Structure 1
């Protein structure tokens, strides 16, 4: 079982790349996002690999991060989602965007991926809703905050800051995103005034 390839980029195709590891060329099928992030031919690269083995075939799928590989595996737990659909989703959405879409049940966002109809997108957000936070990566703070707000257990300065931003005309989701980013910068214990100020700064970017 191959878990990682570390070598030189030999070739970049439409849906795959070839990595030269000690003179042996390994073909790895990748999302378009991973392919676009690869360095040029002859340059060093590390890919996280998911190995698919069948009686008549061994296929390698390559990812630029461990998190992207985990999402690839997670997506295939959903009925009617195979490797092709999982790669299409990861080509369209970053792992953070996907985690956020699932947390917010944003079916339309997931359905943007080629070959993913509304029915499959609905299955993805429904079946992975309880699993998404564990694979949220950079979105985990935002997802956790939105869950706390929804359950009414968010700290007073946080809920006050979100309320202030929504009163200024921003949607609750946009306000929560901004406050989550503000909390990352301000740290634990920041008051609502600071969170509002940093939240507005985030929204102005």
Structure 2
């Protein structure tokens, strides 16, 4: 199982990139947002990855953050959403925008993605509402805005992997970020958030 790639950007096209890792070129499919964030050919890149294994193929899908990878997993758990549709949604919406759309039940926002009709968008919004924690737009239950972007999204992902509920993880990381400040490292955010959920 390949979970992460660090290497040099060899080339890219509309739906994939080739990452050179010590002379081995990995073809990685990705959302247009992730591809746009990679930088110039020849530069070092880091991608979180998911390996998809089917009867007739093995594909690597790459993500700019652990949060985007987690959303990909949630999206593909919905019937009718394959890897291509999930990447189309992640191309149209950032992880934060998708979180907000699902928490608010805004299926029209999800339907902006290519290949996603109203019925499928409604199903995605309905099925993922509980899994996404139902953190509404604006302030969460504790009066703290849900964590957004960068290390905050990765910190929420780390807490989810430890078994905490999405709403609980998001609120704890938001409080930690408010306390430490925007320059907080991932390690500091996770440590502080864990202390807050342990109280």
Q: Return the offset for 1:133.
A: 2.5
Conserved in 1, the CA contact under 8 Å of 2:111 and 2:118? yes
**Aligned-residue offset at 1:143:** 6.3
C-alpha distance in 1 between matches for 2:93 and 2:80: 19
Structure 2, gaps ≥5 residues long: 144-170, 180-199
What TM-score results when the alignment is normalised by the length of structure 2? 0.69
Deviation at 1:78, TM superposition (A): 0.7
1:142 positional shift: 4.4
Considering only aligned residues, what root-mean-square deviation do their CA atoms show, in Å?
Answer: 2.7
Which residue does 1:52 correspond to in 2? 52
Count of aligned pairs between the two proteins: 151
Provide the rounded CA distance (Å) in 2 between the counterparts of 1:118 and 1:81.
13
Structure 1 stretches of 4+ with a deviation exceeding 6 A read: none
C-alpha displacement at 1:68, in angstroms?
0.3
1:6 and 1:44 in contact (8 A); partners too:
yes
Distance 1:67 1:143 in 2: 19
SS at match of 1:133: coil
Task: Report Cα offsets for 1:22-50 as digits up to 9, x if no partner.
Answer: 00000000000001111111100000010
Matched residue, 2:146: none
Contact kept in structure 1, 2:72 and 2:86, CA below 8 Å: yes
Q: Once the 2 structures are TM-superposed, how far is the Cα of residue 55 of structure 1 from its aligned partner?
A: 2.7
Cα deviation digits, residues 10-32 of structure 1 (max 9, x gap): 00111000000000000000000
Distance 1:50 1:143, change over 3 A: farther
> Higher helix share goes to which structure?
1
Q: Take 1:3 and 1:116, find their aligned partners in 2: how far apart are those partners?
A: 27
Rg larger in structure: 1
The residue number in structure 1 matching 2:24 is 24
CA distance in 2, matches of 1:142, 1:108: 16
Question: CA 1:51 to 1:143, structure 2 compared with 1: closer, same or farther past 3 Å?
Answer: farther
SS of match in other structure, 1:132:
coil
Instruction: Give the structure 1 partner of residue 4 of structure 2.
Output: 4
Contact 1:133 1:143 in 2 (8 A): no
TM-score (norm 1): 0.67
- Structure 1, unpaired ranges of 5+: 135-139, 149-153, 156-179, 189-205
